[in-house]
Structure 1
Amino acid sequence: MTILVTGATGRVGRHVVDQLLARKAAVRVLVRDPAKADFPAAVEVSKGDLLDVDALRQALKGVTTLFLLNAVAGDEFTQALITLNIAREQGVNRVVYLSVLHADHFVNVPHFAVKSGAERMIAAMGFSATILRPAYFLDNDVMIRDVIANYGVYPMPIGSKGVAMIDVRDIAEVAAIELVRRDQAEGHLPSETLNLVGPDTLTGEDLAALWTEALGRPIAYGGDDPSGFEAQMASFMPKWMAYEMRLMAERYVSDGMIPADGDVERLTKRLGRPLHSYKAFAERLAKTG
Structure 2
Amino acid sequence: MTILVTGATGTVGGHVVEQLAKRGAVIRALVRDPSKAQLPAGVTAVQGDLLDVDTLRNALSGVSTLFLLNAVVPDEFTQALVTLNLAREAGIERIVYLSVIHSDLYVNVPHFAGKFGVERMIEAMGFNATVLRPAYFMNNDSMVRDVVRDYGVYPMPIGSKGLAMVDAADLGEIAALELLRREQAETPLPFERINVVGPETLTGADVASIWSGVLGRPIGYGGDDTAAFEQNLRQKHVPGWMAFDMRLMCERFLSLGMLPEVGDVDRLTALLGRPLRSYRDFASQFATSA
**Aligning the two structures, in what range does the TM-score lie when normalised by the shorter sequence?**
over 0.9
**Letter of the aligned partner of 2:263 in structure 1?**
G
Tell me the secondary structure at the aligned position of residue 178 of structure 2.
Answer: helix
Displaced runs of 4+ in structure 1, greater than 6 A? none
Residues 161-200 of structure 1: pairs in structure 2 closer than 5 A: 161-200=161-200
Q: Counterparts of 1:195 and 1:243 in 2: how far apart (Å)? A: 25
CA distance in 2, matches of 1:97, 1:40: 22
Structure 1 residues 1-289: aligned runs within 5 Å: 1-234=1-234, 235-289=236-290
Looking at structure 2, the residues matched to 136 and 229 of structure 1 have their Cα atoms a distance apart, in angstroms, of 16
Please report the TM-score for the alignment, with normalisation by the length of structure 1.
Answer: 0.99
| Alignment-mate amino acid for residue 243 of structure 1 | F
| CA distances 1:234-270 after superposition (whole Å, capped 9, x unpaired) | 2132111011000000100111000001100110011
Report the TM-score, using the length of structure 2 for normalisation.
0.98
- How much does 1:13 deviate? 0.2
Structure 1 residue 87 displacement after superposition: 0.3
Counterparts of 1:236 and 1:253 in 2: how far apart (Å)?
Answer: 25
Shift of 1:40: 2.5
Matches of 1:159 and 1:104 in 2, distance apart? 20
One-letter amino acid of the structure 1 residue matched with residue 104 of structure 2:
D
Unpaired runs of at least 5, structure 2: none
Identity %: 64
Distance, in Å, in 1 between the alignment partners of 2:208 and 2:117 is: 35
Q: CA RMSD in A?
A: 0.8
Q: Match of 2:260, as an amino acid?
A: P
CA deviations 1:10-67 (Å, max 9, x no partner) are 0000000000011110000111111210112301111011000001110000000000
Amino acid at match of 1:263: D
Aligned residues: 289
Distance 2:163 2:7 in 1: 25
In 2: Cα distance, 1:48 partner to 1:9 partner: 13
SS in 2 for 1:63: coil
CA distance in 1, matches of 2:222, 2:153: 6
